[in-house]
Amino acid sequence: MAKLKPTVLAVILAGGRVDELSVLTAHRPKSAVPFGGFARVIDFSLSNLMHSGLELVAVLSQYRSFSLINHIGIGASWDMIGRYRGVFVLPPFQGFGQSSWYRGSADAVHQNLDFIRFHQPETILIISGDHVYNMDYREILRYHREKDADCTMACVRVPMNEAQRFGVAEIDDEDGERGGRVLQYREKPEAPTFNWASMTVYCFKPAVLYELLAANSREDESFEFGRDILPRAMREQKKVYGYKFAGYWGYTRTVEEYWRTSMDLLGDEPKLRLSEWGLRTNLEQRDMRDCQPLKVGPEAVIANSLIYNGCVVDGRVENSILFPGVRVAAGAVVRNSVLFFDNVVGREARLNKVVSDVNVTVGEKAVIGAAEEATGAAGVTVLGWHNWIPAGMRIGAGCTLYPDLGPEKMACPAIADNEVVR
């Protein structure tokens, strides 16, 4: 039986970078940041779509799109190839009429309405490409249709003292724990009085979305879904519902949040279970498919860590995540850290609460990151890619090293806590 033409078009907002992620987004969009020892953050959105049977996907990308385009390829890793299936990466373009760099998430969708209209979807599902969660989108789509909503937004309850960091909704109890009508919506309020945070997962009736985007483009000075489109929908008394999500939701907008979400993968009872979620990624990236098995030396100690194929560990690794190609020499200690692809940690070096981008070499007896007694309170030290840390150097907690620092920038014997080296 031939596969029917899909009625849902999914749009992934994947193009931007955020200053809060620092040097991790110096050469890639935030959605392409490596995560979990083998994947990229956007893999959660793509895998959720695949498991939900939604296989017609537009990825709106702008900032340094190459790594994202290279990672997604033709969508084969998520089985999105076929007559009515596919992943289409849509960067901004210049052309006749109004076209330019995307001015925000809403403008990115507005500039690609020709693509959306061509596919004539009955429902448009808009999702962010930089959150960590496992959701069957069919459930929110079903709820959206049952309520005949103009817009349905997925929300998760957050602590009230953190609600000012998010777009938050007040949702009534029309359908109990499942969801209800959105009574109020505020984008990052200074003094929030409700705490259902938007997950940046929206279902729209196409005609309603087209109307809201046209008015936003014509009348507003900013072009974001949370800041502009949802408030406009509320002002115009559109039928807006909130779908209440009760599962895990990891935020990766800042380095601290990225590190904390990564640490949720560890422990006897991890909050985040990738194997149960069926997370897919592109194993052709960095030849992961062909990596040799993990090699563990006779004196090595590994505790509460995720270490993937292609790694060689002769030292001590605790409470850490190592991507393929990482080498930890004898006598070295890596604790509470995330090391991206092809890092090398020299003999007797010590790392604690560090996130290190790809191709970083740490010299012998270097000491980087938080003091062991201050791990909880100390900031995360971030090492930009393609850096070489001299032997014996000391780098404090909460430091940031930009990518590709030459020898002259690394000539000092120590870098104090919270310093930024450019």
Report the domain count for the chain: 2
Instruction: List the CATH number of the domain containing 332.
Output: 2.160.10.10
Question: What is the average pLDDT across 327-340?
Answer: 98
Instruction: List the CATH number of the domain containing 129.
Output: 3.90.550.10
> Do 74 and 217 lie in a common domain?
yes
Percent of the chain with pLDDT over 90: 81
Q: Is the whole model's pTM more than 0.75, yes or no?
A: yes
Is the model more confident about 123 or about 68?
A: 123
Q: How confident is the model at residue 16 (pLDDT cuts 50, 70, 90)?
A: low
Provide φ and ψ at 91, rounded to 5°.
-75, 165
Which residue, 260, 327, 265, 272, is CA-closest to 300? 327
> Do 402 and 351 lie in a common domain?
yes
Question: What is the average pLDDT across 394-416?
Answer: 94
Determine the residue type at 183: L
User: How far is the C-alpha of 166 from the C-alpha of 195, rounded, in Å?
Assistant: 9
Question: What is the average pLDDT across 372-379?
Answer: 82
The tokens describing 318, both together, are 């605790």
In-domain check, residue 160: yes
Provide φ and ψ at 355, rounded to 5°.
-115, 120
Expressed as residue numbers, the domain containing 131 is 8-263
> Do 236 and 376 lie in a common domain?
no
Question: What is the average pLDDT across 319-332?
Answer: 98
Between 41-45, 68-72, 361-365, the lowest mean confidence (pLDDT) is in 68-72
User: How far is the C-alpha of 123 from the C-alpha of 116, rounded, in Å?
Assistant: 10
Question: Mean pLDDT, the chain, as a whole number?
Answer: 93
pLDDT at 99: 53
Provide φ and ψ at 98, rounded to 5°.
-85, 105
Question: What is the average pLDDT across 315-330?
Answer: 98
Question: What is the average pLDDT across 260-286?
Answer: 93
Beta strands 39-40; 420-421: pairing state = unpaired
> Do 117 and 215 lie in a common domain?
yes
In-domain check, residue 179: yes
> Do 346 and 230 lie in a common domain?
no
In-domain check, residue 276: no
> Do 318 and 227 lie in a common domain?
no
Which residues fall within 8 angstroms of residue 237, CB to CB, at 6 or more apart?
none
> Do 251 and 335 lie in a common domain?
no
In-domain check, residue 408: yes
> Do 59 and 208 lie in a common domain?
yes
> Do 257 and 328 lie in a common domain?
no
Question: What is the average pLDDT across 329-345?
Answer: 98
> Do 110 and 212 lie in a common domain?
yes
pLDDT at 100: 65
> Do 252 and 319 lie in a common domain?
no
Q: Say yes or no to pLDDT of 277 above 70.
A: yes
> Do 208 and 162 lie in a common domain?
yes
In-domain check, residue 362: yes
Task: Identify the domain boundary among 221, 246, 263.
Answer: 263
In-domain check, residue 44: yes
Which residue, 248, 251, 294, 253, is CA-closest to 271? 248
User: How far is the C-alpha of 321 from the C-alpha of 238, rounded, in Å?
Assistant: 45
Please check whether residue 14 is in contact with residue 23, taking contact to mean a CB–CB distance below 8 angstroms. Answer: no
DSSP letter at 227? I
User: How far is the C-alpha of 121 from the C-alpha of 203, rounded, in Å?
Assistant: 12
DSSP letter at 282? -
Provide φ and ψ at 226, rounded to 5°.
-70, -40
pLDDT at 249: 96
Helix (H/G/I), strand (E/B), else coil: 288: helix
Task: Identify the domain boundary among 219, 241, 263.
Answer: 263
Between 63-72, 73-82, 227-236, 314-323, the lowest mean confidence (pLDDT) is in 63-72
Q: Say yes or no to pLDDT of 2 above 50.
A: no
In-domain check, residue 287: no
In-domain check, residue 284: no
pLDDT at 103: 84
Sheet of 361-362: strand order equals 295-296, 312-313, 327-328, 344-345, 361-362, 388-389
Q: How confident is the model at residue 1 (pLDDT cuts 50, 70, 90)?
A: very low
Question: What is the average pLDDT across 220-239?
Answer: 96
Which residue, 36, 31, 48, is CA-closest to 278? 48
